[in-house]
Structure 1
Amino acid sequence: MNYREVAEQLVPLLGGENNVVSATHCATRLRLVIDDESQIDKSGIEELDGVKGAFSSSGQFQIIFGTGNVNKVFEHFAPLVGATMDDKSPTGETHSDAAKRKMNPFARFARTLSNIFVPIIPAIVAAGMLMGLLGLMKTYEWVDPESGLFVMLDMFSSAAFIILPILIGMSAAKEFGANGYLGAVIGGIMTHPALLNPWGLADAQPSTLDFFGFGVEMLGYQGTVIPVLLTVYVMAKVEKGLRKVVPNTIDLLVTPFLTVIFTGFTALLVVGPLGRILGNGITTVLDVVYNTAGPIAGLIFGGLYSTIVLTGVHHSFHAIEAELLSNIGGNYLLPIWAMANVAQGGATLAVFFRTKNKKTKEIAVPAAVSAFLGITEPAIFGVNLKHRRPFIGAAIGGALGGAYVVFTHVMANGIGLTGIPMFAIAQDPLNYGIGFVIAVAGAFIATLLLGWKEETK
């Protein structure tokens, strides 16, 4: 593959360098913000050497090259359109901001939540894997639960959830355009030792503080999500408002001081309690659906998840999953999403075995492997959605797998990992594995039975 040649061929197919507002890349895709997408020659792009698919989503036109290739193409492509390696557009605007301008309000909201939680996922994944290890130690009596090793590992596993508001506070503040360290301070206020830590305490009875005649419940927000999100959003508004009126000479002293005081009172008196009620309400509704509808809920959610991915709304699910982890100690949504993801790989394998198109065969196997590892875009946009019926076959497989993991009450100890990596955080790896096989096999068989119209080229 000639990376320079492909990059040079891309520019006219995208409508010229002036039609590319901003450009960046992720692990597998070139991500472009385009001024006028009607000028794009999508079929021409998909015929280029190394291109595994192209699609428009979340305010961006994305071209799939795969791991190892995309960064090399971008290296030659960026100078041609005036993009830089530091995620800046030619106008100086960040790529993320340029993409958000192209989204509808709901997609913009989902992307904002995603930007907040994605940096935190490694911490939650590490905690989830430690919880799984502790579970194995306890179940098979590898280590005495009273031993120093077990106690220390237990501390390590719960730490991320106890300080979750601090992590979210810093990440959310940065996303909202505020000072990240002030966001962390607000998270620290909401998890202060003076507040009763409800983490792991089912019947916590906090004391009440008399604040000018108002009773303030001294209950901490360890492990919560929505209260700190709402509070930091308020903090960002306060900080930005103060910076407009406070003189620059005293800004460093006055703005942080007033921001922390005002937001701290707001957190403990108003926004925090309301956020707790909202978070508990969402969890209760999901529990009712999960426990009442059972496998039917898994069937529906597993079948529809990949369609939701097309809209970009799935990015908002991280907040709900984190709330579930905090409130019930497990995430029953992630195994359902995992079934939908691996089913895309099963459908793609079916296309590989049936198709006679050389380029489709070249794309299908790596796309399937990527889906089994939890990255579905190559499979969805490079193969299944292009042929339409394989996408329906994948939905059938995802529905069957989703029904099974709900029926067997499979839960995860974290968020963000699906496919094969999710075995590390699955509370029931055996039934998760069975659901995995059901989803892949169901999608494979359904795709072969449904068939599709073969491409002539």
Structure 2
Amino acid sequence: MNQLELGKEIIKNIGGEENIKDFYHCATRLRFILVDTNKADKKKIENLEGVISVVISGGQFQVIIGNKVKDVYTVITQNILNNFGQSEEKVADNRSPVSKLIDLISGIFSPAFGLLAGTGLLKGILLLATLAGLSQESGAYIILNAASDSLFYFLPIVLAISAARKFKTDQFLSVVIAGALVYPTIVSAFNEGKNLDFFGIPVVLAQYSSSVIPIILAVWILSKVEPVVKKFLHETIQTFITPMICLVIMVPLTLIVVGPISTLVGDILAQGYLWIYELSPIVSGIIIGALWQVFVIFGLHWAFIPIMINNLSNMGYDTLMAMCTPAVVAQAGAALGVFLRSKDKKFRSLSFSAFVSGLFGVTEPAIYGVTLKLKKPFIMGVISGAVGGAIIGLAGSRSTIFGTLSFITFPAYFGKGFAAFAFSYFLSLILACVLTYFFGGVKKYDQDNQVHNSNAESELKLEPVNVGIEKVMAPSMGDLIRLEDISDESFASGALGKGFGVKSDDGLVVSPVEGEISTIVKSQHALVITSTGGSEILIHVGINTVSLKGQGFNVMVKEGQKVHVGDSLISFDKDFITEKGLDPTVILIITNSYDYQNITVKHDRKKVNPTDEIILLDK
């Protein structure tokens, strides 16, 4: 199933566009806030090819995709959701306060999380470079340091954008308010200890660069102030008078009231965390090391991100990230243990891929694709993470840079407790791997899975043909077009799979293989065939023709129907499509191209007929 079809199936089974109140993504998950969660079919979505798992937590319906989540999100927002975000209708929010808080934090921080991790990685690389001899006075260091440090310094501006989106207020106004907090004159006044007042009202200056709470609270207040200001202004002058009045109100209010109060709250939060941590660093390490991945499963880990950033801003270091890292690498180690123990070729491949992703700090593929599926490996990871967390807590290991919880951010932990941090990292990895290998129940899973696969094969309605070369014919008569020449980047790039296009002469699409219709798109412009040889073939008529909502198309088959080479599938009005300003090219994509060692696309002819062999597939 390609990303377009996956996106459509997710939206359909989630209750449709009208059931979506808010929608965004993080590093591995599509995060939906639904009007009615009961309308979503969790089981159907979990069974979709390309979906790792579904989690309902923190008031969010979370569809875990993995590394391709951004591509799926883009496909959904650009090609599937037509009216999302345009409705002004208010929907009752019956979520608990905790659920609302988790959603708020994840909605504000997740858009910038990848960038925060990336700049943290760059900081770590620069630190290694200075140890290797790169001068901090050199132009290269100064420029790259600016690139890595600017996000953290101007963090209020970045958070203003995502907070404005979350609170549904003006993003540009929010950015200007954030800019005032880090404006050079204000920063200089604070550094020089100047006393400022606003028409006699004293201003308590603070350090707002790298801060989190002040701008979030300020943007929330702006979301309440802006509608009130607009209410008293005629629409002819709202465009330029509203921003002026809001700035006159919000910037002084933020500097005089919101900023100092928020700074105090941040200090209390940092000291409160430090107090809890110092009660027993070992116990803290055990709890965080054991439960961090449990928090990730339920999406609760977002609540800790502001604490980490706040600690770095207020104290210059953070111990929480250090204690989380063994939990991450332990799940990667558990996946490695499954890889080494399992005899199932596909499961070994999945496990090794999950292990590699885990080393880079992305554990969802390991958790949902491997360790939770077998249960015991997840428990082995929890135990190993607790052991590593205890060692790190005892040593007082700490990070001075915000980054991913992975081996590539080791430089962030240079300093106090680094040796213990490095030791616990590899200990947790190896311990989880060994425990899973011997006690993870992998052998039993292989045996059960072998029986399941044997039963499934006996129930197949289509008997597979000989496993040699599989041939794919042209789906229409017309001019053959190379994939890279198709006027849609998602197809032309090959990201969806190998294939080609046909400039159809007669507006008729026929089956290019023997197989079964597995999916028909509601708008009738595309379908998927699963061939008897195992190939998954997407036939897509036109570029952006989903916008026609079925007009000009006639599908002549049904889902589940067996088809033979040359059977009619779709007829379409190419003149109608062209009149609508769209490209009617028929596109054929092998969506499971990765299953084949060799795919040959014949481009030795200009004109093709439905009986012509175009693609040869070799496993």
Same fold, TM exceeding 0.5?
yes
Q: Which residue of 2 aligns with 1:169?
A: 160
Query: C-alpha deviations, 1:372-421, integer Å up to 9, x for none?
Result: 22122222222222333322211111112222333444333433412233
Rg larger in structure: 2
Contact 1:55–1:381, Cα closer than 8 Å, also in 2: no
Alpha-carbon distance in structure 2 between the residues aligned to 1:27 and 1:223: 22
Does the 8 A contact of 1:54 with 1:62 survive in 2? yes
Higher strand content, 1 or 2: 2
1:4 Cα deviation from its structure 2 partner: 9.3
DSSP-derived class of the 1:215 partner: strand
- In structure 1, the residue matched to 2:363 is 376
Q: Residue 352 of structure 2 corresponds to which residue in structure 1?
A: 365
Task: State the SS of the aligned residue for 1:327.
Answer: helix
- Superposition deviation, residue 259 in structure 1: 0.8
Could you tell me which amino acid in structure 2 is paired with residue 414 of structure 1? I
How do 1:400-439 residues align onto structure 2 when only pairs under 5 Å count?
A: 400-423=387-410, 425-427=412-414, 431-439=420-428
By relative contact order (CA 8 Å, sep 6+), the higher-ranking structure is: 1
1:339 equivalent among 326, 338, 342: 326
Query: 2:151 corresponds to which residue?
Result: 160
Pairing of 1:243-322 with structure 2 (within 5 A): 243-322=230-309
Return the alpha-carbon distance in structure 1 between the equivalents of residues 69 and 181 of structure 2. 45
Query: Which amino acid is the alignment partner of residue 410 of structure 2?
Result: F
Give the match for residue 378 of structure 2.
391
> Secondary structure of the equivalent of 1:195?
helix
Name the SS for the 1:194 alignment partner: helix
Q: Partners of 2:299 and 2:7 in 1: how far apart?
A: 30
Question: Percent identical across equivalent pairs?
Answer: 30
CA RMSD, 1 decimal: 4.2
Name the count of aligned residue pairs: 440
Conservation of the 8 A alpha-carbon contact between 1:6 and 1:48 = no
Give per-residue Cα distances to partners, 1:215-256, cap 9 Å, x unaligned: 323444222221222112112221132223322111112211
Q: What TM-score do you get using the length of structure 2 for normalisation?
A: 0.60
Structure 1 residues not aligned, in runs of 5+: 79-83
| 1:106–1:20 CA distance, 2 compared to 1 (3 A) | same
The match for 1:323 among 310, 315, 319 is: 310
Q: Partner of 1:239 in structure 2?
A: 226
| 1:107 to 2:99 alignment | yes
Is the contact between residue 345 and residue 440 of structure 1 (CA under 8 Å) also seen in structure 2? Answer: yes
2: CA distance between counterparts of 1:39 and 1:196? 49
Letter in 2 for 1:364: S
1:208 aligns with 2:195: yes
Note the C-alpha offset of 1:121.
Answer: 4.0
Whole-angstrom CA distance in 1 between matches of 2:194 and 2:83: 54
Maintained 8 Å contact 2:29/2:62 = yes
| Alpha-carbon offset, residue 272 of structure 1 | 0.8
Cα–Cα, structure 1 residues 250 and 385, in superposed 2: closer, same or farther, change >3 Å?
same
Q: Where does structure 2 lack aligned partners over 5 or more consecutive residues? A: 453-619
CA–CA distance in 1 between the matches of 2:182 and 2:326? 35
Name the CA shift for 1:126/1:206 in 2 (closer, same or farther; >3 Å). Answer: farther
CA distance in 1, matches of 2:364, 2:70: 14
How far, CA to CA, are the matches of 2:189 and 2:326 in structure 1? 33
Q: Please tell me the residue identity of whatever aligns with 1:351.
A: V
**What's the offset of the Cα at 1:274?**
0.6
Aligned to 1:81: none
TM-score of the two chains, using structure 1 as the length reference: 0.79
Task: Quote the Cα distance in structure 1 between the aligned partners of 2:265 and 2:27.
Answer: 35
Change (3 A) 1:150 1:291: farther
**Cα distance between partner residues in 1 of 2:386 and 2:86:** 38
Q: What SS does the corresponding residue of 1:296 show, helix, strand or coil?
A: helix
Within 5 Å, give how 1:25-40 maps onto structure 2.
Answer: 40=41
Residue-by-residue CA offset, 1:419-453 (whole Å, 9 max, x unaligned): 23323644367654433211212222344565449
Asked if the contact 2:8–2:80 (Cα under 8 Å) also holds between the matched residues in 1, the reply is no
Deviations 1:190-226 (A, max 9, x none): 2233334599xxxx67232344554323444222221
Which structure has greater helix proportion?
Answer: 1
Work out whether residues 24 and 87 of structure 1, in 8 Å CA contact, stay in contact via their aligned partners in 2: no
